Amino acid sequence: MKKFFGIVSTVAISALLFTPSVGAASHHSKDIVDTAVAAGSFNTLVTAVKAAGLVDTLKSPGPFTVFAPTDEAFAKLPEGTVEALLNDKAKLTAILTYHVAPGKMMAADVVKKSAIQTVQGQSLQVSTSDGARVDNANIIKTDIECSNGVIHVIDTVVLPD
């Protein structure tokens, strides 16, 4: 009986060690745009990225850190705001690039900072006094690794000055 459990344990351990991790392997192989599309909760963000002509940039090697607002975050904006932004490429681009920082910053790196310089040129203010926040947005999920950076999910669209 002891020998049987030893064999079963060895087989189980071997299976764990030698079976590729489908989730991890496939997740890291996707870039920021493909990861956002696959998540299914960033449809408005993806539409905005396409309208602003930023798809190629966010598919480039980067790396980038993206503070990605969910569809619910966009829904909090006043009625008609998203539609107006989709028709104002310059303003849309400024807002979207305000959500992106150059380099790959994991959550542990983000919370050590008081401000993060964005691709747009202004800085996001970081606060950890009441949970992790950038500007007025709560960071609700962190460290979604992509082949060209990392995504941190936020619950509010942040706007530059």
Among left, alpha and beta (phi > 0; psi -120 to 50; other), residue 112 is alpha
> What per-residue confidence (pLDDT) applies to 14?
31
Give Cβ neighbours of residue 13 (< 8 Å, ≥ 6 apart).
none
- Give the separation between CA 84 and CA 32, rounded to whole angstroms: 25
pLDDT at 32: 96
Residue 137, burial from CB neighbour count under 10 angstroms (0-12, 13-18, 19+):
buried
Q: Which tens digit of pLDDT belongs to each residue from 50-66?
A: 999 999 999 999 999 99
Q: Binning pLDDT at 50, 70 and 90, where does residue 15 land?
A: very low
Rounded Cα distance, 79 and 85, in Å? 11
Class of domain 30-154: mainly beta
pLDDT at 22: 33
Query: Domains of the chain: which residue ranges?
Result: 30-154
Give residue 63's pLDDT.
97
pTM over cut 0.85: no
